[in-house]
Amino acid sequence: MSKLTTKVALVTGGSRGIGAGIARRLARDGAAVAITYSKGAEAAASVVDEIEGAGGKALAIQADATDADAVVAAIEKTVAALGKLDILVNNAGTAIPKPFEESTLEELDRVLDINLRGVFIATKAALKHLNDGGRIINIGSSVGERMMTPGLAAYSATKGAVKMFTQGLSRELGNRSITVNNVQPGPIDTDLNPASGDWAEPQLALTALKRYGHVDEVAALVAFVASAEAAYITGANLTVDGGTNA
Ligand code: NDP
């Protein structure tokens, strides 16, 4: 039996990048997986096709992380279609890199709304359904702990907030054996942070391993945290960053 057989997971922002990698991996480990997306219906459908083609169960739901009603509805649809909810992965996130002084209030609100408020909304809705022994896994960032490059002040502030939200919530859910953890990627090659170009160069230089990470390397850590073997890990910030923060 695979590690997550009988489990149901919801991955927000699971149509591309790290979220898609997590969805594929959780499905490979036996979980039925729902993913949300905001605009990329085709990309979401192809993740579902891939999982179903490999014999798994998956479902794509359009739900913008800034739309509280849509996020709540996505959780309800997941439970209605897949029967229950055991694992929530709060992955949907964005960055708008630029000097803080040049950022507009709209841009700052957007980063806050997706990266922090969106996590609050999904978590609150999921808690109504999460079974004892459930898992909440937030995708923070290595820059939520240590910041070395300019242009991401607001983004790193939201990820620092995700870190403290994780720690605080873990104190509230321990009596239900629900663990709450924060997986903090470093530079991972995705549409948000491509491994080539001017923007990538300083990030690459800061890693100890001198390379960008792959989405599967984040997904592997998430799959472990989701498994029964990780039952005693909670309130933890687990970094997968090629040594960036070393
Ligand atoms: P991508 O931009 O490559 O993918 C983002 C995913 O989230 C897509 O599936 C996208 O779907 C979805 N998404 C974006 N905005 C929304 C929204 N408003 N509502 C719902 N879904 C949304 O990002 P990454 O995979 O790189 O990042 C994933 C997470 O990992 C983020 O939280 C990011 O901050 C974090 N992270 C990434 C790092 C990296 O180097 N890549 C490093 C550290 C942390 P759609 O196309 O439909 O919008």
Q: Which CATH number fits domain 8-237: 3.30.1330.20, 2.160.10.10, 3.90.1150.10, 3.40.50.720?
A: 3.40.50.720
Q: Residue 1 has what pLDDT?
A: 54
Q: For residue 2, what pLDDT band results from cuts at 50, 70 and 90?
A: confident
C-alpha of residue 192 to centroid of ligand 1, in Å: 7
Indicate if the pLDDT at residue 66 is higher than 90. Answer: yes
Read off the amino acid at residue 200: A
Q: How far apart are CA 53 and CA 67, in angstroms?
A: 31
Mean pLDDT (whole number) for 166-177: 98
Report the pLDDT value the prediction gives residue 127, as an integer from 0 to 100: 98
User: According to the model, what pLDDT value does residue 113 have?
Assistant: 98
The residue written with tokens 């939520």 in the block is: 144
Return the beta strands (E) in the chain as ranges: 8-11, 32-37, 58-62, 85-90, 130-139, 179-185, 237-240
Q: Is 30's pLDDT higher than 70?
A: yes
Q: Which tokens hold the place of 76?
A: 């309800």
Residue 180 CA, ligand 1 centroid: distance in Å:
20
For ligand 1, mutation pick of 18, 22, 120, 206 (most atoms within 8 Å of CB): 18
Average pLDDT in the 134-150 region? 97
Distance in angstroms (rounded) separating the CA atoms of residues 103 and 117: 19
Residues enclosing ligand 1, CB less than 6 A?
A: 12-19, 36-40, 64-66, 91-94, 114, 139, 141, 185, 187-188, 190-193
First to last CA, the chain: 37
Share of the chain above pLDDT 90, in %: 97
Q: Is 37 a catalytic residue?
A: no
Cα–Cα distance for residue pair 69/1, rounded to 1 Å: 36
pLDDT digits (tens, 9 = 90+) for 178-233: 999 999 999 999 999 999 988 999 999 999 999 999 999 999 999 999 999 999 99
Looking at residue 240, its pLDDT comes to 98
pLDDT value at position 141?
98
What integer is the mean pLDDT of 80-109?
98
Yes or no: say if 152 and 207 are a contact pair by the CB < 8 Å rule. Answer: no
| Residue 147 near residue 184 (C-beta atoms within 8 A) | no
Q: Please classify residue 144 by burial: count the beta carbons closer than 10 Å to its beta carbon, then call 0-12 exposed, 13-18 middle and 19+ buried.
A: buried
Comparing CA positions, the residue from 54, 58, 42, 44 lying closest to residue 10 is 58
Report domain extents, the chain.
8-237
Atom of ligand 1 nearest to the CA of 186: 42
For the chain, the average pLDDT equals: 97
